[in-house]
Chains A and B, each alone.
Chain A
Amino acid sequence: MAHFKKKQAATSQGVPTAAMPDVVFMLLIFFMVTTVLREVELQVQVNYAGAENIEKIEQKRLVSYIYIGPERLSGNRVGETKVQIDDALVDDMGSIRNIMYDKLMEEPRLIVSLRVDEDSEFGIITDVQQELRHAGTLRINYSTRREI
């Protein structure tokens, strides 16, 4: 009985994987560059207010944040409304002026983003704004989430 052997294609069957590490490395480098590892640790609680007519801030490196909201205490309780800049709570309102002035010297096109809890009263924001005006950081931005 004659036995016919099937002719197989001469080319190898597998997908070449030699370039895979390169592809993976490229992705890896992309994510490494875009990642901001640590944002500030929030010591105040901030729930953003919602708004429709909002704009994006494109240049993120110009932005400096001020957080205003009730202080987080242990055991899920919240205390009085406090102001946080970078990693520390600011107790003395008058010192905001110096902090922001130093930041403005480093980055003259500074935008100050106010991240304020929606249940705050406006008095404290008025105080902060007055300090910002004294410091000369006039471009501000009220952080809001998109409301549809």
Chain B
Amino acid sequence: MLNKKRNRESGEIDGSSLADIAFLLLIFFLVVTTIDVDTGIGLVLPPIPDDIEPPPVRERNLMKILVNAQGMVLINEEPASVGEVRDRIKRFVDNNGADPDLSESPDDAIVSIKTDRRTPYNVYIDMLDEVMGAYAELRHQASMDRFGVPYSSLEDNSERKAEIQEMYPKKISIAEPDEG
């Protein structure tokens, strides 16, 4: 028998460079990744009205905010500043029937927002921000009174949060745009 002499090399693949390759890929993905969270003001548009007339709303339960082409804010047809909006809404929503000109209950209160075609967008957002801020403050207050914890610390979809949301529902209406 012939004894074959063979200088066998080790049969395994060298794995020491694996880490280097993985590092390279890792660095690539590290550089490419952007973890950005989309933030903004959420709103629900009203559906297109059918032929059915919307239910009548009493004048006192409606707060009309108009932002006109010059970027001026008018509350119930009277000029106001953007900074005023928050307090006005808080008083309007949290009136509970005390003042005959303001809403009957937070559940009935509707904030109607109307804009012109040439309204500057940032004024609109500032105004909407104030509206959201007013509701956030009212909800925070209600949460502190009831549960002794800030509204922001309540968990999503929890019973407590739903309760507060029911106390102060955000009834914000986008008015139908004018024709033409």
Contacts and interface: CB of A to CB of B under 8 A. Distances in A.
B55 interface: no
A116 B25 CA distance: 36
The DSSP consensus for interface residues of chain A is: mixed
B133 A52 contact: yes
Contacts of B18: 21
A126 B33 contact: no
B117 A126 contact: yes
Interface residues of A, number: 51
A22 to B, nearest CB: 9
B147 interface: no
A28 B128 CA distance: 42
A50 B29 CA distance: 30
B41 interface: yes
Contact of A140 (B35, B42, B67): B42
Contacts of A17: 19
Contacts of B118: 121-123
Contact of A55 (B19, B42, B47, B121): B42
Given A49-B122, A134-B48, A140-B42, A24 B23 contact: yes
Interface in A1-57: 17, 20-21, 24-25, 27-28, 31-32, 34-37, 49-57
B120 A53 contact: no
Contact of A28 (B25, B37, B41): B25
- For the side of the interface on B, what is the size category? 35 or more
B23 A121 contact: no
A145 B117 contact: no
B129 A143 contact: no
Given A35-B33, A121-B119, A129-B45, A142 B26 contact: no
Given A140-B43, A143-B38, A21 B132 contact: no
Interface of A: 17, 20-21, 24-25, 27-28, 31-32, 34-37, 49-57, 60, 63, 111, 113, 116-123, 125-126, 129-130, 132-134, 136, 138-146
Given A49-B122, A120-B121, A145-B39, 18 more contacts: A17-B19, A21-B19, A21-B22, A25-B22, A31-B33, A51-B40, A51-B129, A53-B136, A54-B40, A57-B38, A120-B120, A121-B121, A122-B116, A123-B117, A138-B45, A142-B41, A142-B125, A142-B128
Interface of B: 15, 18-19, 22-23, 25-26, 29-30, 32-35, 37-48, 67, 115-122, 124-126, 128-129, 132-133, 136, 174, 177
